[in-house]
Structure 1
Amino acid sequence: MWSERWRATALSAPPTRPPADLALLTGMTAYREIAARAEEARMEGRPVPALEREQRRLEREIRSRTLHMRGETPEGGDRFDVGRLLARLAEGDDGQLVELAVLDGRVQVLLCGQGRVRRFEAGLLAAAETEAEHVQAGLRRLAHPGAQARLPVVEAAGRRLEELLLGPAAAHLGSGPVVIVPPGRLHRVPWAVLPSLRERVLSVSPSASSWLRARETAPPPGGRQVLVRGPGLATGGAEVPVLAGRYDGATVLEHDDATVPRVLRELDGAGLAHIAAHGAFRADGPLFSSLRMADGPLIVHDFERLDRSPYRIILSCCDTARFATVGADELLGLVTALLPLGTAGVVACSAPVNDAAVVPLTLALHKSLDTGLSLAEALRDARAALPPDALHRATGWAFTAFGAA
């Protein structure tokens, strides 16, 4: 499939982990300390130019060392095979994968499922991007109480966005699960806002190859649960103590225990990780996108040091599902970095959300996971379990299940 070869140059490659390098580890520790000091100074209103200069210098060193290191690839990469994709889709409940491509400025919908690939033509990409920004702006407003009147506006924008992105293909999705593979310029679309996708099992993947890899990733033995809450959350990560009572024997890291080295040690090879921590997206350096821990930022480069990333990860705060577009049509960010490292599924957020409304959503999500559902199935049921007001509906729409677990 030409569209699959065009996108995801790096995502189609086998996972690569840098070998142990003392200079790199020392540099990342120094970077974390400087970034933490800069954040503390900003919060206190103190000037930070010197700290920012040092942070940028350390970023350049880390980027340079990682670009020139020879990684260890335990397995060879596979060429994309449409037949293998269709066979995997047939194993589910009549599921379909929708890969969106762009030709001459217009969205082309490749509907993969039921043993075939069908193409439909939808709307103009530029119009879809504009409508997606309107939806994002609406969700930001709905994250605050008192914006109930904006809900019909967001719903109307969702209907227009569906016509632009799916067009006539929306009538052929069937009733089974749907996997969306968007082009880079549409990575910020909150797909659950689209009417035909709101109440179904829905997941998103940066490429069909990435979805296949996630679909074929086996869970680790033991299925350990790790619960992390970082500093400065409006709710204090209120769902974490409740989840600690749900999962007997789960590792709970909070307060001074939620340091980057300790968190990485516990995450390695875990079956399920729930991380309640402030997310920061870096458009100028997506691999420096981070989650705030007690001792500073946990960045994408840190996850690359794991022998195996957690099988399932739930990220319960803002900006954890944002990406930067690089290359032909490739996405870089926290989620796309996790999927090749052994993570089969991630739930993350692509829009600002109300922290208090996130708590019941994530608790309902875990309750559904306890019954054996996938992340996409559990997220659908969690949305349905929330109160029907605008605040909670917007919160549910802002979260997306990525991958296939």
Structure 2
Amino acid sequence: MSKNKTQLNLLNKTLNIARNSKFYKSKLQGFPLELKNILELQNFPFTTKKELRDCYPFGALAVPINDVVELHTSSGTTGKAALSFLTKEDLKNSSKAIAKAWKCFGITKSSRVQFMMSYGLFSGATLNTYAIQELGGFVVPAGIQSAEKQIQMMLDFKIDTIVGTVGYYFYLFDYIKEKQIPLEQFSLKCGIMAGEIYSDKVRSEIERKFKIKIFDHYGLCEVNTGIAYECEFRTGLHFLDNYVLPEIIDPENGKVLPVDNEGELVLTTLKKNALPLIRYRTGDITSIKSGRCPCGRSSIRINRIKRRVDDIIFIKGIKIDPYELKEYLLEIAGDNIFSDIKIRVGNSFENYSPEILVSLKNPSSTNLLSVIQKTLKEKTLLTFDVKHISRDYFQRGENNKVKFVEYVDKK
């Protein structure tokens, strides 16, 4: 059976399953029950993250809750999370599909992989771990540990592949350098860098420091983690296109764009029963590449993610909506601070901590800064350096606005 025919069959099955949910039963009313061509999908409505949050917790669930065996949630600062329910069959399909990416990275039964990313409700580390185990690989689920413990495990278990966010790679290298641990003591061959948008220049710098090859790996909780990956040629990310179907749209008018045109990535799941998604708007900006990759794979390729439609900030692998963050911060501080706030994020991933600048109405109430920092960490899992600054600092520009998010070069 041809790939297009396989995709169409899977798509029609997904549309049928989706209608079992309260959300899609209403949303897809009046739309065809079966498609004769994949292009007909363009006539269907989009799904947004807000819609998923609005039908929390079970509105988008398409199977009985007793069939669900695992739950993951998307990152966010306020409001209800977008959920990802998984059945046993979903987990099996997920592991089998994502294993193809890890096999491409060179993972085999003899590989030793260490995840330096959060487990728990976040899907990235957990579902990728299952995929690696599908290949028989050895996984150290280190999660969030001190640099000392991470390095000790890397040395003790002769780890050859590490997985982490861009910022953590820099942090880890600085620690290794500070402690004067020779790189020759490590067994590293490969690194997977995910969770943050980064340039080829940043990638090259980390490769130079660690003397390993770095690969990009794309995914998102609502659809699934690790659904697009780089091969050895690194000329774009290969999509698992028998597992998820990508489209690129104009974020302004929603029209589907041809290959090599940059726009918003939209995804439709093909093998997810518990919570299938139809034309889900990711908010990520990229393009589908034309031509076949030199590796010979025929799968759809996208360029590496460039930015977000809504300028959501990626910090240490967590997506932060600055406007949600501001709203939550004002809720914490109440009437004790002025409304102008600035988030400062480093352009360079080296030696930086995200900052929040606020203006206290009573400058002596510095204990409030610690309360804000602690509460934000509980909510976002991130440590912000919260500082008081004079109200005069906030200069108003075009349309009488204060620049809310500032990207700075930190030394």
TM-score by length of 1: 0.29
Greater RCO, 1 or 2 (C-alpha within 8 Å, sep 6+): 1
Q: More helix per residue: 1 or 2?
A: 1
- Greater gyration radius: 2
